[in-house]
């Protein structure tokens, strides 16, 4: 049997500790599958004394990730610390510069510096694998980077944040408010103490930026993403969506358009009968639409120690099986030097269906005025529903409009015109509708 692949692991938290446990308990199977043993040669974390429920007594301990990355005794540097800068970025750069293969689960680092790191890896003959960085255990990176080569991809979209999907699912299933569901998610450990990064959509944006690059062969552009979180989704929206045959999901969508690439993260209404609408709780899903294959939908665990470690282990196994000197898969699917500049399609030009919920004073003429504002902006309506709703101070009613495919710009203008009218009570709610191909 060939020599062992010696792995150095930086970060022994949720993912790192799971990875150590799996490699240790499956040593024999891994050696057979990979054709060589996988050996944990060295580790590092911040606190050496912490009990992690794993046995690392026979493994060399390093006091810093940089020292571990510089160690000549390892063949692969596995970064599981997290963070776009600092120890994670410095150690990954250093490892790649000396031609050491790297595996990471760090979406923040890849979104911020992925192209630079890919270039360093390719210049130094190192592999940089990051399957766990997007949608945890779902092998979407490999699908885009390798399996779909030759396909022209038109759209990639998905549910990539378990916290948001858990909250939206609970709101719908139990009729609870956003705030109550967030508290419950925090109690169960699905949401961080500071949940802003998840619920404002930033986490999904990091993952989307990586998928966009792999799908469209362009530079990573995390700052060119239209971003809207789920904090202002109310139970009224969820109920209205259900009445109209939709469910609300936080989607990340990247789409090729005539004017460039559209990248957006926002609450989205998806048809209740679509497969993606059935993806509940902390589960993730990624859909890829391409010309040769058609539509591919992958659903699975998007986070958690074991699911994430499963992807990290797959990346390590790929390195164990790779042949020295063989042609390598480009880190981002296309060689870093050949990635096209990113050209952003403006959000104002986005075309799609819209759900608009207005609370208005219960007066005559309001309905006609709203219809007129829509017509002035050439918005064609698929449905218009009104419901009476007694309010504490005024008699108000809710009007829900669903548009046929229309331009974002037209919707914004129509909503601004309605906002200028005296009958509007509170802020209008606008939610984009996304349909899977052929729905």
Ligand X SMILES: NC(=O)c1ccc[n+]([C@@H]2O[C@H](COP(=O)([O-])OP(=O)(O)OC[C@H]3O[C@@H](n4cnc5c(N)ncnc54)[C@H](OP(=O)(O)O)[C@@H]3O)[C@@H](O)[C@H]2O)c1
- Contact pick of 5, 7, 15, 42 for ligand X (by CB under 6 A): 15
Q: What is the 3-state secondary structure (H, E, C) of the chain?
A: CCCCEEEEEECCCHHHHHHHHHHHHCHHHHHHHHCCCEEEEEEECCCCCCCCCCCCCCCEECCCHHHHHHCCCCCEEEECCCCCCCHHHHHHHHHHHCCCEEEECCHHHHHHHHHHHHHHHHHCCCCEECHHHCCCCCCHHHHHHHHCCCCCEEEEEEECCHHHHHHHHHHHHHCCCHHHHHHHHHHCCCCCCCCHHHHCCHHHHHHHHHHHHHHHCECCCHHHCEECCCCCCCHHHHHHHHHCCEEEEEEEEEEEECCEEEEEEEEEEEECCCCHHHCCCCEEEEEEEECCCEEEEEEEECCCHHHHHHHHHHHHHHHHHCCCCCCCCCCECECHHHCECCCECCHHHCEEEEEEEEEEECCCCHHHHHHHHHHHCCCCEEEEEEEEEECCCCEEEEEEEEECCEEHHHHHHHHHHHHCCCCECCCCEEEEECCCCCC
Give the CA distances from residue 242 to residues 270, 404, 405, 422, 429, in Å, rounded to whole numbers and listed in that order.
10, 18, 20, 29, 16
Q: Which range of residues in 46-54, 275-283, 331-339, 382-390 is near ligand X by CB under 6 A?
A: 46-54
Output 43 or 411, the one with its CB closest to ligand X.
43
| Of residues 56 and 233, the one with the C-beta less far from ligand X | 56
Does residue 284 interact with ligand X by CB under 6 A?
no
Minimum separation from the CB atom of position 11 to ligand X (A): 3
Which residue of 46, 98, 173, 387 would you call a contact of ligand X, by CB under 6 A?
46
Give the nearest distance from C-beta 58 to ligand X in angstroms.
Answer: 19
In this chain, which of 13, 217, 314, 335 binds ligand X, going by CB under 6 A? 13
Q: Is 136 in the site for ligand X (CB under 6 A)?
A: yes
Region near ligand X per CB under 6 A, out of 12-20, 188-196, 222-230, 391-399: 12-20
Choose which of 110, 121, 132, 160 interacts with ligand X (CB under 6 A): 132
d(CA 438, CA 42): 51
138 binding ligand X? (CB under 6 A): no
Residue number, nearest CB to ligand X: 13
Q: How far is the CB of 319 from ligand X (least distance, A)?
A: 18
Asked whether position 34 contacts ligand X by CB under 6 A, the answer is no
Q: Is the dihedral of CA 146, 147, 150, 151 positive or negative?
A: negative
Site for ligand X in 56-95 (CB under 6 A): 65, 80-82, 87
**332-371 mask for ligand X (x: CB under 6 A)?**
----------------------------------------
Catalytic residues: 207
Residue in 1, 3, 28, 47 binding ligand X, rule: CB under 6 A: 47
- Per CB under 6 A, does 137 bind ligand X? no
Q: For residues 198 and 262, which CB has a smaller minimum distance to ligand X in the complex?
A: 198
Residue 90 or 116 with smaller CB distance to ligand X: 90
Which one of 30, 42, 45, 265 is in contact with ligand X (CB under 6 A)? Answer: 45
Shortest distance, CB of residue 12 to ligand X, whole angstroms? 4
**The only residue of 78, 303, 331, 431 in contact with ligand X, by rule CB under 6 A:** 303
In this complex, which beta carbon is closest to ligand X, that of residue 196 or of residue 439?
196
Q: How far is the CB of 49 from ligand X (least distance, A)?
A: 9
Both tokens assigned to 174: 């139990």
The minimum distance between CB 206 and ligand X, in angstroms, equals: 9
User: Segment 179-238, which members bind ligand X (CB under 6 A)?
Assistant: none
List residues binding ligand X (CB under 6 A). Answer: 10-16, 44-47, 50, 65, 80-82, 87, 105-107, 132, 136, 303-304, 308
């Amino acid at each position: 049997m060939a020599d062992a692949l010696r792995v150095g692991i930086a970060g022994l938290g949720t993912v790192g500790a799971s990875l150590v446990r799996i490699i240790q308990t499956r040593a024999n199977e891994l050696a057979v599958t990979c054709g060589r043993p996988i050996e944990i040669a060295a580790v590092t974390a911040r606190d050496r004394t912490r009990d992690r429920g794993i046995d690392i007594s026979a493994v060399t301990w390093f006091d810093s990730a940089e020292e571990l990355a510089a160690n000549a005794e390892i063949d692969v540097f596995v970064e599981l610390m997290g963070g776009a800068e600092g120890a994670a970025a410095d150690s990954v750069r250093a490892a790649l510069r000396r031609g050491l293969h790297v595996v990471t689960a760090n979406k923040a680092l890849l979104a911020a510096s992925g192209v630079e790191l890919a270039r360093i890896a390719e210049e130094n003959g190192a592999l940089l694998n990051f399957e766990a960085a997007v949608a945890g255990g779902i092998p979407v990176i490999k699908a885009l980077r390798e399996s779909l080569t030759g396909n022209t991809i038109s759209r990639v979209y998905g549910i990539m944040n378990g916290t948001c999907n858990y909250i939206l699912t609970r709101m719908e299933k139990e009729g609870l408010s956003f705030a109550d569901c967030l508290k419950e998610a925090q109690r169960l450990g699905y949401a961080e103490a500071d949940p802003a990064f998840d619920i404002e959509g930033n986490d999904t944006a990091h993952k989307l930026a990586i998928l966009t690059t792999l799908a469209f062969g362009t530079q990573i552009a995390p700052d060119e993403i239209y971003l809207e979180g789920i904090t202002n989704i109310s139970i009224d929206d969820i109920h209205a969506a259900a009445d109209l045959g939709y469910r609300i999901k936080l989607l990340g969508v990247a789409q090729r358009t005539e004017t460039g690439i559209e990248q957006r993260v926002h609450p989205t209404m998806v048809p209740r009968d679509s497969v993606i609408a059935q993806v509940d709780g902390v589960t993730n899903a990624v859909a890829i639409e391409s010309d040769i294959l058609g539509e591919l939908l992958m659903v699975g665990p998007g986070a958690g120690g074991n699911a994430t470690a499963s992807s990290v282990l797959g990346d390590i196994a790929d390195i164990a099986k790779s042949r020295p000197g063989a042609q390598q898969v480009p880190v981002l699917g296309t060689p870093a030097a050949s990635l096209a500049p990113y050209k952003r399609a403006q959000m104002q030009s986005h075309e799609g269906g819209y759900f608009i919920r207005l609370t208005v004073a219960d007066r005559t003429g309001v309905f006609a005025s709203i219809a007129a504002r829509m017509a002035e902006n050439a918005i064609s309506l698929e449905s218009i529903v009104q419901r009476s709703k007694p309010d504490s101070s005024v008699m108000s009613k809710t009007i829900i409009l669903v548009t046929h495919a229309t331009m974002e710009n037209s919707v914004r203008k129509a909503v601004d015109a309605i906002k200028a009218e005296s009958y509007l009570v509170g802020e209008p709610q606008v939610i984009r509708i996304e349909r899977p191909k052929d729905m």
